[in-house]
Structure 1
Amino acid sequence: MPETSLSAQEFLAIADHTLLAPGTTPDELDTFISGAASLGVARVCVSPSLLPAASHGREIVTVVGFPSGAQHVEMKVAETARAVADGADEIDMVVNRGLVRAGDWAAVEREIRFVRAACFGRVLKVIIESAALSDEEIVGACRAAEAAGADFVKTSTGFDPAGGASVHAVRLMAATVGGKLGIKASGGIRTAAAVRELWAAGATRFGVSGTAAILAEWDGAGSSAGSVSGGY
């Protein structure tokens, strides 16, 4: 558990300000990214079909195999290569949950390795959809991601009905990777209290869409159980 509190500026440095709503137009995207620059976040996470886009000085994160993760690995590799060509700095891939639930760890690792090769030199995060997995499956997915050379494991897409980030999942993921990978918490993180809970549990990056609202109530936020809810 971190020994010091997380400041608003430190949060901005580890927040992926997120816009993944279907139907977003290029003009809406540009407004969003310019607004992210005004907020002071380091990076934005947006849909791959909207790239390339003016970054306004932000790093660009995009998603692959989103949101189900059920695509063939060849499709994820092609999507990754296109995202890199279109200027993505970081890739958040959704793992094939069926392979995870089947315990086919060799296949899970193989899939991640192929995507890793397609975005070599970029940051790769593996979305495991933790709310839909057992503890044993979470541990196995994290170990496969580490073995395949990923940089982060990520809790959730924010689009699954099972829910988003939880303190329990983040704590388990952090204990499993032991600092060798980062932990991105995403899905249902809507308050500064939730950010602080998840950071204390071991999160090192956050996927958030309501960044401005979180910042607005930062100084008055304490810690309250149950402040993380489902949804992005």
Structure 2
Amino acid sequence: MQITRSALAQMVDHTLLKTDATRAQVSALVAEARELGVFSVCVSPSMLPITDELGDVKVATVCGFPSGNHTAAAKAAEAAESSKLGADEIDMVINIGLLKEGRADAVEEEIRAVREATTGLLKVIIESAALTDDEIVAACKAAEAAGADYVKTSTGFHPAGGASAHAVKLMADTVGGRLGVKASGGIRDFASANEMVEAGATRLGLSGTRAVLDGADGVEIDDEGDGGY
């Protein structure tokens, strides 16, 4: 079944990570987030702290973004600073090259370093479109072993692409409900968002949030009252 607009909104990280984004645009993002009733805004670390009225909206930021080719120490320092500046959640990018070399243990170590530096929730971006199924599973297992809270498909900046229902399902099957699964990258309409939720996504990263939510208008909660899934 399709998810309702309100339930979908509470799964959304309303995102602005463009390299030329301004503080005025971040302020507009926050205002829109409050209006739409989304879970959080996700912005670049340089935009912290957010001084606009947030209401119930959480603040997420990125770490080691977008390449992941930073040292573990640099990622940990960035996460620590962002946490001090008010980030409730950190979305870190793994070093994909380490995973490609078969060094999942090193990936686990860098995730653990960021976990220890983060005071809030930690999501681990694995760039699923650039990985084989076996590598997706290995990345998810490393994230869980290191104490992460979520695994996340994509930065939205990798040429291989963004989220796919196949990757989301594989990630959800691997973490077994113990971790959340965030789908992001290329989700531009309600049908795509609903497909990700059906595949197992528990959070969505969206930049065109209003258009996605508008596509959910008219979807009603079912008779069982379970949120319209």
Q: TM-score interval w.r.t. the shorter chain?
A: over 0.9
Deviation string, structure 1 residues 198-231 (Cα, Å, up to 9, x no partner)? 111100000001110111222368xxxxxxxxxx
Q: Which has the higher contact order (CA 8 A, sep 6+)?
A: 2
Which residue number corresponds to residue 219 of structure 1? 217
Partner of 1:20: 17
Shift of 1:54: 2.2
The answer for the alignment partner of 2:223 in structure 1 is: none
Listed as ranges, the matches of 1:39-78 within 5 Å are: 39-55=36-52, 56-57=54-55, 58-78=57-77
TM-score under structure 1 normalisation? 0.91
Percent same amino acid at aligned positions? 56
In structure 2, C-alpha distance between the alignment counterparts of 1:114 and 1:68, rounded to whole Å: 17
Partner of 1:229 in structure 2?
Answer: none
The residue matched to 1:183 in structure 2 has which SS?
A: strand
Deviation at 1:42, TM superposition (A): 1.9
- Equivalent residue, structure 2, for 1:226: none
Q: CA RMSD in A?
A: 1.2
Q: CA-to-partner distance for each residue in 1:58-84, whole Å, 9 max, x for gaps?
A: 210000000000001111011001100
In structure 2, what is the Cα distance between the partners aligned to 1:18 and 1:51?
A: 14
CA distance in 1, matches of 2:181, 2:12: 12
- Amino acid in structure 2 at the alignment position of 1:74: A
Most deviating of 18-27 and 127-136: 18-27
Q: Deviations over 1:105-153 (max 9, x none)?
A: 1111100001000013x11000000000000100000000000000000
Aligned residues: 217
Q: Runs ≥4 in structure 1, deviation > 2 angstroms?
A: none
The 5 A counterparts of 1:48-197 are 48-55=45-52, 56-57=54-55, 58-120=57-119, 122-197=120-195
AA partner of residue 215 (structure 1):
L
Residue 30, structure 1, aligned to residue 27, structure 2: yes
Cα distance in 2, alignment partners of residues 28 and 5 from structure 1: 31
Residue type of the partner of 2:215? E
- Structure 1 unaligned runs (5+)? 222-232
Structure 2 equivalent of residue 203 of structure 1: 201
SS in 1 for 2:205: strand
Look up the SS of the partner of 2:91 in the other structure. Answer: strand
Q: Which runs of 5+ in 2 are unaligned?
A: 220-229
Determine the structure 2 residue equivalent to 1:230: none
Work out the CA distance in 2 between the residues paired with 1:92 and 1:217. 27
Report SS of the residue matched to 1:114: helix
Question: What is the TM-score normalised by the length of structure 2?
Answer: 0.92
Deviation for aligned residue 1:5: 3.5
